[in-house]
Structure 1
Amino acid sequence: MQQSTFLRVSGVSVRFGGINALTDVSLDVPQNRVTSVIGPNGAGKTTLFNAISGFYPVAEGSIRFQEHDLLAQPASRRAHLGISRTFQNLALFPGMSVLENIKLGVHPHLRAGLLAGMVYLGKARREEIEATARIDESVLDLLDIRPYRDKPVSGLPYGVLKRIELARALVMSPRLLMLDEPFAGMNHTEKGQMAAHIRRIIDTTDVTALLIDHHMESIMAMSDQVTVLNFGKVIASGTPDEIKRDKAVIDAYLGQD
């Protein structure tokens, strides 16, 4: 069945002074699929993510998420539209439990007031209970972290910490999950496990993934389509097999040691 375009980046350019960080970049992200963006260091991958997230201003072009014009939305509003993002560097609180760290992903979305949230009264308490139930029912087993639920995150294996951060991004059931180098810092086994978990999320939930990373083995094994950037421009897009055979990609990236 043909998948509809979920996120559409059209002719986007981003400039910093006289430097073109992105030039006329276009990218279609189909629904319920894994789309990966690769390229050498400095190719513009993180700049593209920051433009979609609203952290960098776009000089030209458009970005649409379903029926929404993202460029007309502030960064804070984009999360409420159903876009969740992880970052390369972990931002977990070592003195808190795994469950408490995951619930931090809910707090920006709570509808109760700040005072109620601080003392867990009324609506805030109900929302907290609902969040805990949602984590228990749909996140812990999906990412195989239930055994760590009530343990402090301090001292846990790095691969588990990365899955906890992923769980925090998933707790609000986002429609688009943006993953910034999810395999960074992992050993070979941990990378394979993370790739399998991301693939499971896409195959068993209504989440669409857009990710950037450098680990070719994991990306080519788990992605439905790949876009390649070089010097801020798209040089190829296609399936993993098509990308592996593309001469421009081999010359710019895959052929490098």
Structure 2
Amino acid sequence: MTTTAAPRLEARGVTVRFGGLVALNDVDLVVPAAGIVGLVGPNGAGKSTLFAVLSGLLRPQVGAVFLDGREVTRSSPQARARRGLARTFQQPELFSGLTVRDHVVLADRVRHARGRIWSDLVTAGGFRASGAAEDRRVEEILELLHLGEQAHRPVAGLPLGTARLLEVGRALALEPTVLLLDEPSSGLDTRETEELATVFTDISRERGVSLLLVEHDVELVLGLSDTVHVIDFGVEISVGDPAHIRADPAVRAAYLGADADADEDRTKS
């Protein structure tokens, strides 16, 4: 008898209201194991609200969230992190007195040696080596993110693209099964965005981590994702592979206005 593995992350029928405003209305989303899923939509569509529901910062009035088949709708962000959910933020929050490597070491110790955090940061114990296993884990992440040459650089003054990669590195050090990426390309130039896309593909393929990208850069999402969900005014208007999303008139209308198809017809005539 064949059984189907539960999705890494799933939202079922999520509805969120703020007073009389319906921010999300009966939205479903599935992130499979080792998959890359995109979530896009025009400004104000409800992407950030759904992201907050998935990460545990906001509880829906209706619907449920599952991690590896287990309901976590009422679980805190910390409890979800312990079950394998990690996330990044639009604005990286880094410790100015630490190096690039220090940040990954600190995140690794949150996962593997939480008792050392106090001595590392507060009692001047410093970042003394914990052994070969920690070094191996940290070096693997730095290599994966192409940060090896900058490992000992202080984070003060890092380019935004490098800071974003470092935040991804901190999340990976927690050994998540699914990683939520909040507008990762915001403020980056074309080269930095391309480098980020390569890293995300490597993370999925080499570490088996599932990725959910909430992004304003639709082309980045379409180029990376196996499946894309499009929401507008809190409603899911399309879901499918990138080719389906590109061809969907509902998506064109949401981004270009209701007269997009009419304009195209006039152009052809």
Common topology (TM > 0.5): yes
Distance 2:135 2:257 in 1: 47
Asked whether the equivalents of residues 12 and 25 of structure 1 are also in contact (C-alpha less than 8 Å), the reply is yes
Distance 1:20 1:106 in 2: 40
Give the aligned partner of residue 115 of structure 2. 112
Matching of residues 115-126 of structure 1 within 5 Å: 118-119=122-123
Letter paired with 1:208: S
Q: Give the secondary-structure state (helix, strand or coil) at the position aligned to 1:112.
A: helix
Could you tell me which runs of 5 or more consecutive residues in structure 1 were left unpaired when the two chains were aligned.
Answer: none
- Deviation of 1:128 after TM superposition, in Å, equals 8.1
Q: Does 1:142 align with 2:131?
A: no
Q: Does 1:185 align with 2:199?
A: no
CA deviation vs aligned residue, 1:11-48 (integer Å, no higher than 9, x gap): 00111222111110011111111000000111111111
Q: Give the secondary-structure state (helix, strand or coil) at the position aligned to 2:161.
A: helix
- Deviation of 1:200 after TM superposition, in Å, equals 1.0
Q: Give the secondary-structure state (helix, strand or coil) at the position aligned to 1:96.
A: coil
Distance 1:116 1:94 in 2: 18
Distance 2:131 2:93 in 1: 21
CA deviation vs aligned residue, 1:71-119 (integer Å, no higher than 9, x gap): 1322211101010100111111233100112234345444427656655
Letter paired with 1:163: L
Give the aligned partner of residue 136 of structure 2. 133
Letter paired with 2:184: P
Give the aligned partner of residue 78 of structure 2. 76
Matching of residues 59-98 of structure 1 within 5 Å: 59-98=61-100
Could you tell me which runs of 5 or more consecutive residues in structure 2 were left unpaired when the two chains were aligned.
Answer: 261-269
Matching of residues 174-213 of structure 1 within 5 Å: 174-213=176-215
Worse-matched range after superposition: 221-230 or 91-100 = 91-100
Distance 1:248 1:238, change over 3 A: same
Q: Which one of the candidate residues 194, 216, 219 is aligned to 2:218?
A: 216
Distance 2:36 2:55 in 1: 18
Q: Does 1:46 align with 2:85?
A: no
Letter paired with 1:135: V
Letter paired with 2:16: V
Letter paired with 1:102: V
Asked whether the equivalents of residues 59 and 74 of structure 2 are also in contact (C-alpha less than 8 Å), the reply is no
- Deviation of 1:5 after TM superposition, in Å, equals 2.3
Distance 1:100 1:142 in 2: 16
Distance 1:106 1:205 in 2: 16
Give the aligned partner of residue 29 of structure 2. 27
Letter paired with 2:25: T
Distance 1:41 1:237, change over 3 A: same
Distance 2:148 2:246 in 1: 37
Asked whether the equivalents of residues 14 and 58 of structure 1 are also in contact (C-alpha less than 8 Å), the reply is yes
Distance 2:123 2:165 in 1: 29
Q: Does 1:233 align with 2:230?
A: no
Distance 1:254 1:141, change over 3 A: farther
Distance 2:172 2:49 in 1: 23
Letter paired with 2:182: D
- Deviation of 1:129 after TM superposition, in Å, equals 7.0
Using the size of structure 2 for normalisation, the TM-score is 0.86
Number of residue pairs matched by the alignment: 253
Letter paired with 1:133: R
Distance 2:65 2:33 in 1: 15
Distance 1:111 1:199 in 2: 30
Distance 2:212 2:60 in 1: 19
CA deviation vs aligned residue, 1:206-248 (integer Å, no higher than 9, x gap): 2000111011221111111100010111000000010000000
Give the aligned partner of residue 160 of structure 1. 162
Using the size of structure 1 for normalisation, the TM-score is 0.90
Higher CA-based Rg: 2
Asked whether the equivalents of residues 8 and 177 of structure 2 are also in contact (C-alpha less than 8 Å), the reply is no
CA deviation vs aligned residue, 1:36-66 (integer Å, no higher than 9, x gap): 0000111111111110111111100111111
